Amino acid sequence: SVSSSFPFSLLDPMLKRDCFEDILEERRNSSDLKYALRCYAPVLYKGVTPCKANMLKNIVLQSDQLHYVINQVSQESGEAPDIIQEEASVILEEMAHRLQISTVRCFAFALSKAFKTLFQHVCVNEEGIQRLQQAIQEHPVVLLPSHRSYMDFLLMSYILYTYDLALPVIAAGMDFMGMKFVGEMLRMSGAFFIRRSFGGDKLYWAVFSEYVKTMLRNGFAPIEFFLEGTRSRTCKSLTPKLGLLNIVIEPFFKGEVFDVNLVPVSISYERILEESLYARELLGVPKPKESTSGLLKARRILSEDYGSIHVYFGQPVSVRSLAQGKVNRSTYNLFPRHIPRKPMEETQSFVNDTAYRIVRLQEDNMVLKPWVLMASLLLQNLEGLELSVLTEQTVWLRGLALSYAAFLDWPDQAPTAKVVSSSLALHRGLACVSGDRVSLVVGEPLGPVTPEEALFNRAVSVLSCASYRNQVLHVFLRPAMLAVAMLHLSDEVYNCFSFLWDMFSNDFILCPGDTVQDFEEACYLLVKTGAVQMPQQDIVMTDIGQPTLSFFNGLLEPFLQGYQVVCRYLCEEASEGLTEKQYIPAVRSFAVKLILAGNLRCYEVLSSDMQKNALAALLRMDAVRKVKVADQVTLIVNKMAVNSIDDILGKNRMISHINQTPISPSLSLVAVAEDLYRDGLTPSYIR
Amino acid sequence: PSLLLLLTLTKLTNCFLFSPRQEIMKWNGWGYSDSKFLFNKKGQAEFTGKRYRLSGMTLPSLQDWFENTFGASVKHKSPPVLNASVVPPPRLNEAFVENLKATGIPFSNEAEDRVFRAHGHCLHEIFALREGKKFERVPDMVVWPNCHNDVVKIVELACKHNVCLIPYGGGTSVTSALECPPEETRCIVSLDTSQMNRILWLDENNLVAHVEAGIIGQDLERLLNESGYCTGHEPDSMEFSSLGGWVATRASGMKKNVYGNIEDLVIHIKAVTPRGVIEKSCQGPRTSTGPDIHHFILGSEGTLGVVTEVTMKIRPIPEYQKYGSVVFPKFEAGVACLREVAKQRCAPASIRLMDNKQFHFGHALKPQVSSIFTHFVEGLKKFYITKLKGFDPHQLVVATLLFEGDRERVLQHEKQVYDIAATFGGLAAGEDNGQRGYLLTFVIAYLRDLGMDYCVVAESFETSVPWDRVLDLCQNVKERIIRECKERGVQFQPLTSCRVTQTYDSGACIYFYFAFNYRGLADPVHTYEQVEHAAREEILANGGSLSHHHGVGKLRKEWMKDSISNVGVGMLKSVKEYVDPENIFGNRNLL
């Protein structure tokens, strides 16, 4: 059968997660000062002696790699090499970390205090720490945490300090540098700063990549960066960025190191500090510029309860094992290693693939709280629902999530009612119980409000709530897409699945080329939970499958609607010379109009994240093109194509309001496979 | 001063002329029957025989080194099984035999003669001999041509009767090149060149000698020395390997910095192929006459024909020779120094850099110190290097040097090299350390036999690599070996050691030793082969070549296409197709 022939994590009997240890517990029972001043002597890679920041800079400035580029730039620009060298030195000065143990100790002290006020627990899987310790000694290590909060990298360093592990050097965006004092503090705790964009600047790239590679090759410290590039404002994982990953993997391909260990780290917050900030940002209130005074204002948050943090250090992933049979390292033999070169296609696709796998590993080990399930249910019942119904459905959803191997942190002993009520208590800013009904809280405005303001307030709470639902999406995504495809009543279930897969691949982490595998995974999961049967390789809903399929359908409903609104806008409203800049505000006001007129109930479409992803999908599907005219990027809409995408989505949506008849798609999987083959996909996708 | 460490030995033995070599050589191990390492009743190692500088000496630190390095014990013996292998009966081609008899060229189909020429010195071959395992296929007969014309006759008869010929020189192959293809159904004839061992003429005006290709290295050197000359070609196997073998495998000698590798030394090659005799019409020192046909024969590994006569450059014996050594605090520093020496093109006749493991290995071969004074001096030296200079005994490495030429220039040269070394933190460490380094390479194969007596298997392999990749390659290959051993259930830490053994303008030759204690393994040879395979993959992935001088044989055939491209393989194939369409030279090496 299809479902038994493919490898994926849920079928892996080895999939066993470690237990957590609360590191705050000890902090609550012993002196923070002593802790900050204790002996810190981490084991390093093959016993190297730590390298002073200045020595590191010298190694970089004297490297063949940098010399080559300096000469190249000098020849191109006509400037003397000395001057370029000086420029390189300035860039490095601006970039380099100045890790100092004294600063780290200050942070250790201050963060202990802060964490104890903010959080109930900071839980870490100690087995993961042990694996990391082992990995650090064997090969250069790259730490790849998920990124949902500013807190992430301080937290990471804090944990590594706590466990006496080598402190990482962390790639941070230049925007932190705006905060003079804090920026320097971060620098002294191991951050190095990179400009957000330096597209064509060869010299900058050379300094930057050589700086990172030097640290990696010599194993001076683990390197830490965020694959997602920026904090996820939606709590969904973001499409990984490849630049830094390319840099840290290249030394392996060039034989400069035996192996590189990539360690995915999943940081899950029960409540995110930036919760409503993110929602506002997504709704178009620009992100406040990082400034020290801004951070001080954030002191207000110190008085709130943010629940627990779970940090899961995943199994180190050996680049050597991953690349086995995929990249032929000897193709690097014929080119001098110090001359920068665009990675070969084979390498690029390997790095891309690796990035996706790592993000999926991050997702797999994200700890989900009961509230995440409750938020998913509440969002499907915006009018609110009975507490007893919510409780009952949450229990049902818990079962489903567990059978899909979700990493659910459900209090073992507590009665369900208690779990639900304490979740509601912690998130009282988002949901309230009045009488027997639970509903979303809408921020109370001061004084009279316009309909737009009311709508805006409501959207803030919907988006905040959605950021919790989003945390569970990676668990349900594949079966949910299949459910939508089935309810579409099309006779080509796979084609419909594949369409959705393609459409949503900016919104969710779908590894390139994995369509068939994801489809098989979806089938397997739905069969496993009894929602679907596959007689003679058909896909048929079972008698008991209705609630599951309908829940999944509702789960993706906002995305389907959102994309559809974008399509409608592009077909009906968009003016001829629509620029990329105008696009987001224009879609937003289009959606606001629809909602105010009572024609749309979906608030999530107001999120700039969804709008961007929808546009990216349409661009990918060639329904929209970008044309650069003068300094403006204009969007050229192929209305026919957009219309037909809208049609497919529309059919989905209408059907999704569920008729109760059983579904009997007539298409067999084999036929699907044949179709695919005919359409020119490589046969290797078909097993 | 003696040119060779083993000069004493050549004085004692009456060389190989006209004596079947299996009478004085081991049939299931390396070298002379009378020379071997053993642990005596007192538990001390000694080297038997009288042939070598070490012969008859006890080596007090070898046992400790051996037991500590491999986790082995002299109590766990794995002696060879003494009955000779079961030999499959010969498949003779009667017509060929009849015709051959008529020529008067001697031949044999004795089992002993055939098995002796059925193998080289790969680990799996020696292991099989020791265990008394049956060879799937061995030559069906051995023939001993006496001169070029004999070879012409044999090749003609082989073509006429469709007989497979496998040329056999010194039998020191480590690439499975001598292994008979098991699928070969024709009669296999081993063509032993050992009787073609004369220097035919010597031309002092042009400094060349015309030599029959069957001559063994040490005999060639000895005979030339009698006239005041040498070739200077000294591969580590020169006690046993032949001139024809050097040509057929592109051999390299340790003094190539002065004398050149085999391709630089040959002026003229005469070879017999199924198409006829190939040779050039003149002895011009260099020609522009299309691709050099010598390069079809150099490295052909017996697939195209038999090299019968070679004209070779000779040099007057150098007036003065001096060993030397330099210790460096770390391998990195040593490599940087060798790189600088190569850059300045001032490499002495030989310069090698042994890593820390090999340094200790070499030290384990120190004979018992006779006087308290020497003991004291040794102690002082050690104190100076490790305590006063702060060298970590577990990090330091040693470069061994050999200078040759007239006395004055040698001393000048020596100073130049030591000055360069000093800039990389190198300290001169005396002649004795240098000499011991070279000794190790001559007795290493005997030591492998000792290891095999105590459950340790070992092998060496080599590569060449650009300078900038030397360090990374050494480190990655060692790490790969350690990892592969672990994954394959080897219970003891393997020994992985390397040395930079030759330097060139743009790169270096790296030589690896690899050994492990196989107790607890069901099939140690198979495990060994898997690890060696992985090590070679690692070499290739790190920019190393498939081979610097050992050759390809059958052991490394699978990588030829990747190494020289499809077109390259096609070119070689078409040459083979033209020269030997019936695959008479059917050892199936290379392609």
pLDDT in tens, chain B (591 residues): 333 333 333 333 333 444 567 788 988 899 999 999 999 888 789 999 998 888 988 998 899 999 999 998 888 888 887 665 578 899 999 999 999 999 999 999 998 899 999 999 999 999 999 988 888 899 999 999 999 999 999 999 999 999 999 999 999 999 999 999 999 999 999 999 999 999 999 999 999 999 999 999 999 999 999 999 999 999 999 999 999 999 999 999 999 999 999 999 999 999 999 999 999 999 999 999 999 999 999 999 999 999 999 999 999 999 999 999 999 999 999 999 999 999 999 999 999 999 999 999 988 888 876 666 666 667 767 777 777 778 888 999 999 999 999 999 999 999 999 999 999 999 998 898 888 888 888 889 999 999 999 999 999 999 999 999 999 999 999 999 999 999 999 999 999 999 999 999 999 999 999 999 999 999 999 999 999 999 999 999 999 999 999 999 999 999 999 999 999 999 999 999 999 999 999 999 999
Q: Averaged over A1-23, what is the pLDDT?
A: 58
Q: Between the CA of residue A366 and those of A119, B78, B285, what are the distances in Å? A: 18, 55, 74
Are the C-beta atoms of residues B164 and B187 closer than 8 Å to each other?
yes
Q: Would you state the pLDDT for residue A4?
A: 34
Among B339, B479, B563, B565, most A C-beta atoms within 10 A, so best to mutate, is B479
Q: Which residue of A has its CA nearest to B480?
A: A258
* B167 annotated as belonging to a binding site for a ligand: yes
Distance CA B478, CA B496 (A): 6
**Two tokens, residue A120:** 């109930």
* Residues of A whose CB is below 8 A from B472: 255-256
Q: Would you state the pLDDT for residue A16?
A: 76
Distance CA A375, CA A468 (A): 6
**Two tokens, residue B182:** 């098991």
* Residues of A whose CB is below 8 A from B463: none
* Residues of A whose CB is below 8 A from B474: none
Across the strands, what pairs with B306? B272
Residue in A53, A44, A65, A138 with CA at minimum distance from that of residue A103? A53
Question: End-to-end CA distance of chain B, in Å?
Answer: 45
Distance CA B574, CA B565 (A): 14
pLDDT band at residue A135 under the 50/70/90 scheme? very high
Q: Would you state the pLDDT for residue A296?
A: 52
Residue in B140, B96, B160 with CA at minimum distance from that of residue B582? B160
Nearest-neighbour CA in chain A from B475: distance (Å): 8
Q: Would you state the pLDDT for residue B132?
A: 85
B480 touches A at CB < 8 Å = yes
Q: Do B543 and A332 touch (CB under 8 A)?
A: yes
Q: Averaged over A542-554, what is the pLDDT?
A: 91
Q: Judge whether B511 counts as a catalytic residue.
A: yes
Distance CA B5, CA B18 (A): 25
User: DSSP secondary-structure letter at A443?
Assistant: P
Q: Which tens digits make up the pLDDT trace of A29-41?
A: 999 999 999 899 8
Are the C-beta atoms of residues B175 and B555 closer than 8 Å to each other?
yes
Residue in B177, B307, B316 with CA at minimum distance from that of residue B246? B307
Nearest-neighbour CA in chain A from B465: distance (Å): 10
Per-position DSSP letters for B15-77, written without gaps between them:
-STTS-GGGTB-SSSSSBTT--EEE-TTS-EEE-SSSSTTTT-EETTHHHHHHHHH---TTS-
Q: What's the residue count for chain B?
A: 591
Q: Do A329 and B541 touch (CB under 8 A)?
A: yes
* Residues of B whose CB is below 8 A from A330: 540-541, 543, 562
Residue with tokens 């994309």: A563
Q: Which tens digits make up the pLDDT trace of A166-196?
A: 999 999 887 666 677 888 888 988 999 988 7
Is the pLDDT assigned to residue A686 strictly greater than 70? Answer: no
Are the C-beta atoms of residues A503 and A617 closer than 8 Å to each other?
yes
**Two tokens, residue A63:** 């490297």
* Residues of A whose CB is below 8 A from B476: 255, 258
* Residues of A whose CB is below 8 A from B475: 258
pLDDT band at residue A116 under the 50/70/90 scheme? very high
Q: Averaged over A240-255, what is the pLDDT?
A: 95
Distance CA A230, CA B567 (A): 49
Distance CA A668, CA A484 (A): 17
Q: Do A337 and B469 touch (CB under 8 A)?
A: yes
Q: Which residue of B has its CA nearest to A64?
A: B468
Give the pairing type, strands B188-192 and B164-168.
Answer: parallel
Residue with tokens 């987001």: A584
Contacts of A511 by beta carbon, 8 Å cutoff, 6+ apart? A353, A356, A357, A360
B543 touches A at CB < 8 Å = yes
Per-position DSSP letters for B77-123, written without gaps between them:
--PPP-SPPP-PPP---HHHHHHHHHHT--EE--HHHHHHTS--S-H
Per-position DSSP letters for B406-464, written without gaps between them:
SHHHHHHHHHHHHHHHHHTT-EE--HHHHHHHHHHHHHHHHHHHHHHHTTEEEEEEEEE
Catalytic residue (one of B52, B229, B323, B511):
B511
User: Which of B468, B479, B543 is the closest to A258 by Cβ?
Assistant: B479
Are the C-beta atoms of residues A210 and A60 closer than 8 Å to each other?
yes
User: What is the pTM assigned to this prediction?
Assistant: 0.89
Contacts of B351 by beta carbon, 8 Å cutoff, 6+ apart? B257, B338, B341, B399, B400, B401, B402, B417, B503
Q: Do B543 and A330 touch (CB under 8 A)?
A: yes
pLDDT band at residue A510 under the 50/70/90 scheme? very high
Exposed, middle or buried, B335 (CB in 10 Å: 0-12/13-18/19+)?
buried
Across the strands, what pairs with B202? B209
Residue in B121, B107, B108, B122 with CA at minimum distance from that of residue B25? B121
Are the C-beta atoms of residues B115 and B84 closer than 8 Å to each other?
yes
Distance CA A624, CA A601 (A): 26
**Two tokens, residue A230:** 């920026």
CA B395 to chain centre: 28
Measured CB to CB, residues of chain A less than 8 Å from chain B are 255-256, 258, 328-330, 332-333, 336-338
Quickly count helices (H) and strands (E) in chain B. Answer: 19, 21
- Please count the other Cβ atoms lying within 10 Å of the Cβ belonging to residue A114: 16
Three-state secondary-structure class, residue A52: coil
pLDDT band at residue A88 under the 50/70/90 scheme? very high
B541 touches A at CB < 8 Å = yes
Q: Would you state the pLDDT for residue A293?
A: 53
Question: With left for phi above 0 and alpha for psi between -120 and 50, is residue B400 left, alpha or beta?
Answer: beta
* B251 annotated as belonging to a binding site for a ligand: yes
Q: Do B469 and A255 touch (CB under 8 A)?
A: yes
Q: Between the CA of residue A12 and those of A7, A514, A519, B200, what are the distances in Å? A: 8, 18, 17, 73
User: Which of B472, B479, B562 is the closest to A256 by Cβ?
Assistant: B472
* B304 annotated as belonging to a binding site for a ligand: yes
Residue in B408, B235, B421 with CA at minimum distance from that of residue B324? B421
Among B332, B395, B472, B479, most A C-beta atoms within 10 A, so best to mutate, is B472
Q: Would you state the pLDDT for residue A663?
A: 31
Angle made by CA atoms A92, A97, A100, in degrees to the nearest 5: 145
Q: Which residue of B has its CA nearest to A252?
A: B542
Are the C-beta atoms of residues A208 and A440 closer than 8 Å to each other?
no
Q: Averaged over A244-263, what is the pLDDT?
A: 96
Q: Do A333 and B543 touch (CB under 8 A)?
A: yes
Angle made by CA atoms A195, A199, A201, in degrees to the nearest 5: 85
Q: Would you state the pLDDT for residue A660?
A: 32
* Residues of A whose CB is below 8 A from B468: 336-338
* Residues of B whose CB is below 8 A from A336: 468
Identity of the amino acid at A79:
E
Are the C-beta atoms of residues A384 and A439 closer than 8 Å to each other?
yes
Q: Which residue of A has its CA nearest to B540?
A: A330
Is the pLDDT assigned to residue A665 strictly greater than 50? Answer: no
Nearest-neighbour CA in chain A from B62: distance (Å): 29
Question: With left for phi above 0 and alpha for psi between -120 and 50, is residue B455 left, alpha or beta?
Answer: left
Distance CA B589, CA B179 (A): 9
- Please count the other Cβ atoms lying within 10 Å of the Cβ belonging to residue B204: 12
pLDDT-above-90 percentage for chain A: 63
**Two tokens, residue A623:** 């329904």
Among A329, A334, A338, most B C-beta atoms within 10 A, so best to mutate, is A329
Count Cα atoms within 13 angstroms, Cβ side, for A65.
22
Exposed, middle or buried, A182 (CB in 10 Å: 0-12/13-18/19+)?
middle
Q: Do B468 and A333 touch (CB under 8 A)?
A: no
Distance CA B591, CA B578 (A): 15
Distance CA A514, CA B484 (A): 32
Are the C-beta atoms of residues A207 and A60 closer than 8 Å to each other?
yes
Nearest-neighbour CA in chain B from A369: distance (Å): 40
Are the C-beta atoms of residues B183 and B166 closer than 8 Å to each other?
no
Three-state secondary-structure class, residue B268: strand
Q: Do A255 and B480 touch (CB under 8 A)?
A: no
Three-state secondary-structure class, residue A178: helix
Identity of the amino acid at A399:
G
Q: Which tens digits make up the pLDDT trace of B254-290?
A: 999 999 999 999 999 999 999 999 999 999 999 999 9
Three-state secondary-structure class, residue B500: strand
Strand order in the sheet with B199-203: B199-203, B208-212, B306-313, B266-273, B276-278
Q: Which tens digits make up the pLDDT trace of A421-470?
A: 999 999 988 998 888 899 888 766 666 678 888 888 889 889 999 999 99
